């Protein structure tokens, strides 16, 4: 397995592979890898085969964190990540630094961003106003640097995947966009690097996100008014005193537009705080 920590090194390899007709798959991550990320690596390998190159990027992207969010304390452990990547069969880890990814930023003159203006507005976009601008910008940069044929993202960040898929289409990136299923812990909690922040009591209660999704899934055998479900869910969350519901939304998975009537096929997403830790999850009902 190779490691590229500079942009010129990454660009040289991408150029060499493309010249040789080698297919490239990219798995963008912010590191502190878990089994969910490794399942994205398997999905990437499946798309490019043994002769292809699977690139996993590790970059804690500052522009997608708000000023009071967890950028500085986001968990980082490159040596552990490299070991996991070796075992998972990654060909190249690309781990660039801030000075190269955002040239001019320390001098205050980095000024180019990629903005999706429609489906990034609600839910995560409403709760974290500059978040998707950072995500689309860094992923567009990674696409430019790695030049992948395939890129793999996780369904756990459903809105992120939808926004990035729209960006890929709108900006004509020649990238096959793959969304891989969410991996869950034994009790149903979606795997996330941020689960590490939870203390044992919070971790025990965090499974309420999954229980909420399952409870609504069971309730929508016939159409139900969204406002009614939202009110019931607020009540449901009082069972976990360490949890604070940030939002719950019901929407059309194709347009991300909120719906008034929830039925089978409607998508549900929610965000919940445990102390300062914010977890998200979603399901197609
Ligand atoms: O999902 C993530 O880990 C990040 O948002 C991504 C896509 C790697 C961009 O920084």
Using left for φ > 0, alpha for ψ between -120 and 50, and beta otherwise, residue 240 falls in: beta
The minimum-distance atom of ligand 1 relative to the CA of 57 is 8
Based on the domain organization, do 133 and 249 belong to the same domain?
no
Based on the domain organization, do 9 and 136 belong to the same domain?
yes
* Core vs surface per residue 260-275: b (16+ CB within 10 A) or e: eebeeebbbbbbbebe
CA atoms lying within 13 Å on the CB side of residue 14: 21
Q: What is the mean pLDDT of residues 29-56?
A: 98
CA atoms lying within 13 Å on the CB side of residue 84: 19
**How many angstroms does the Cα of residue 27 sit away from the middle of ligand 1?**
9
CB under 8 Å to 103, separation ≥6 — which residues? 110
Based on the domain organization, do 144 and 35 belong to the same domain?
yes
Q: What is the mean pLDDT of residues 20-28?
A: 98
Ligand 1 in contact with 120 (CB < 6 A)? no
Ligand 1 in contact with 57 (CB < 6 A)? no
What is the Cα 48 distance to its own chain's centre? 21
Residue 222 has a pLDDT of: 92
Whole-angstrom distance, CA of residue 66 vs CA of residue 136? 15
Residue 106 has a pLDDT of: 81
Mean pLDDT of the chain: 97
Respond yes or no: is residue 37 known to be catalytic: yes
53 belongs to a structural domain: yes
pLDDT digits (tens, 9 = 90+) for 224-280: 999 999 999 999 999 999 999 999 999 999 999 999 999 999 999 999 999 999 999
- Check if the beta carbon of residue 41 is closer than 8 Å to that of residue 56: yes
- Residue 197 is part of a domain; what is its CATH number? 3.30.1300.10
Ligand 1 in contact with 282 (CB < 6 A)? no
pLDDT digits (tens, 9 = 90+) for 198-228: 999 999 999 999 999 999 999 999 999 999 9
**How many angstroms does the Cα of residue 144 sit away from the middle of ligand 1?**
16
Counting every residue written for the chain, the total comes to 285
CB under 8 Å to 10, separation ≥6 — which residues? 4, 94, 96, 145, 146
Domain boundary among 126, 146, 180: 180
Q: How many domains does the chain have?
A: 2
Whole-angstrom distance, CA of residue 245 vs CA of residue 283? 17
Residue 105 has a pLDDT of: 83
pLDDT band at residue 104 using 50, 70 and 90 as cut-offs: confident
Residue 140 has a pLDDT of: 98
Using the predicted structure, report yes or no on whether residue 37 has a pLDDT greater than 90: yes
188 belongs to a structural domain: no
- Check if the beta carbon of residue 178 is closer than 8 Å to that of residue 45: no
The minimum-distance atom of ligand 1 relative to the CA of 135 is 9
Count of CB atoms situated within 10 Å of the CB of 111: 7
Catalytic residue among 34, 37, 68, 131: 37
84 belongs to a structural domain: yes
Residue ranges making up the domain that contains 212: 193-284
Residue 108 has a pLDDT of: 82
pLDDT band at residue 31 using 50, 70 and 90 as cut-offs: very high
């Amino acid at each position: 397995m190779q490691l590229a920590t500079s942009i010129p090194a990454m660009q040289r390899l991408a150029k060499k592979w493309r010249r040789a007709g080698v297919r490239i798959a990219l798995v963008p991550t912010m590191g502190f890898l878990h089994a969910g990320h490794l399942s994205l690596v398997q999905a990437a390998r499946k798309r490019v085969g043994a002769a292809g190159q699977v690139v996993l990027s590790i970059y804690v992207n500052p522009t997608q964190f708000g000023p009071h969010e967890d950028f500085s304390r986001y968990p980082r452990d490159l040596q552990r990540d490299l070991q996991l990547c070796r075992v998972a069969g990654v060909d190249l880890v690309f781990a660039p630094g801030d000075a190269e990814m955002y040239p001019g930023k320390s001098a205050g003159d980095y000024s180019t961003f990629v903005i999706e203006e429609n489906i990034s507005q609600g839910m995560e976009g409403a709760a974290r106003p500059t978040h998707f601008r950072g995500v689309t910008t860094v992923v567009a940069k990674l696409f430019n640097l790695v030049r992948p044929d395939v890129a793999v993202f996780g369904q756990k960040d459903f809105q992120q995947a939808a926004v990035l898929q729209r960006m890929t289409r709108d900006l004509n990136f020649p990238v096959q966009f793959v969304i891989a299923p969410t991996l869950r812990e034994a009790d149903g909690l979606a795997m996330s690097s941020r689960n590490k922040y939870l203390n044992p009591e919070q971790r025990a209660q965090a499974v309420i996100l999954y229980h909420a999704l399952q409870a609504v899934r069971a309730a929508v055998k016939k159409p139900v008014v969204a406002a009614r479900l939202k009110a019931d869910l607020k009540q449901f969350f009082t069972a976990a005193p360490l949890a604070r519901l940030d939002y719950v939304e019901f929407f059309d998975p194709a347009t991300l537009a909120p719906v008034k009537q929830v039925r089978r096929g409607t998508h549900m997403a929610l965000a919940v705080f445990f102390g300062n830790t914010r977890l998200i999850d979603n399901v197609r009902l």
